[in-house]
Structure 1
């Protein structure tokens, strides 16, 4: 399978795991050393993300994906995607359009997210 398509498939698995709160899938897809900057500018680690899903602090109602771009550089894949998201985070309903940038790294046969960033898109 072409690497770009494989990363696109992993992005879909990640989105589905986030929507369903599938912590086991997130544990596989996120690197132990992952660093993610969320839309509020806060740093989120893999453990923070898993804990939030385990505690039920994240509930995603809907995600619409558009404008996905993927570039591959050796064992690294960079994804830029726009997501229209509605959900509940720590008791607060959020609705908005966000651009995500994620860095996937291949280790052996596995690809995992090692870094990411999210910004609100002003429309």
Structure 2
């Protein structure tokens, strides 16, 4: 099951990197609870909006220190991401720890909760 979560995480990151909203829509639960790097509660539609408008773009996302724990039909992923991109035309580079909870619904794993915390300098 951990291999399946690793593959889903890779698919999620590629969808984020290339703003593939169709894949993101498939992987994120409709009632997603996401606390972003500013501490704001963000819904699924709010999370997808900057990808749809192209306000948010990424040129690089590098993963490190990924840890996965599985609890029956739940999987919790903790991972560092080094992120390079731009938001509303302003370039940024950051290092963030993400915590994501995946839940299995029938045969599909979906992200039901996530948070991101900035960690030091990029």
Common topology (TM > 0.5): yes
Taking structure 2 as the reference length, the TM-score comes to: 0.95
Where in structure 2 are the equivalents of 1:47-62 lying within 5 Å? 47-62=45-60
Worse overlay, 50-59 or 109-118: 50-59
Distance 1:92 1:34 in 2: 27
TM-score normalised by the chain length of structure 1: 0.94
- Determine helix, strand or coil for the equivalent of 1:104: strand
1:83 aligns with 2:81: yes
1:21 to 19, 22, 30: 19
Partner SS state of residue 47, structure 1: helix
- Residues paired across the two proteins, number: 121
Equivalence map 1:4-43=2 (5 Å): 4-43=2-41
Give the Å deviation of 1:94. 1.8
- Unpaired segments of 5 or more residues in structure 1? none
After TM superposition, the structure 1 stretch with the greater mean CA deviation from structure 2, 90-99 or 111-120, is: 90-99
CA deviation map 1:20-75 (0-9, x unaligned): 11010000000000011111111111111222111111100101110000000011
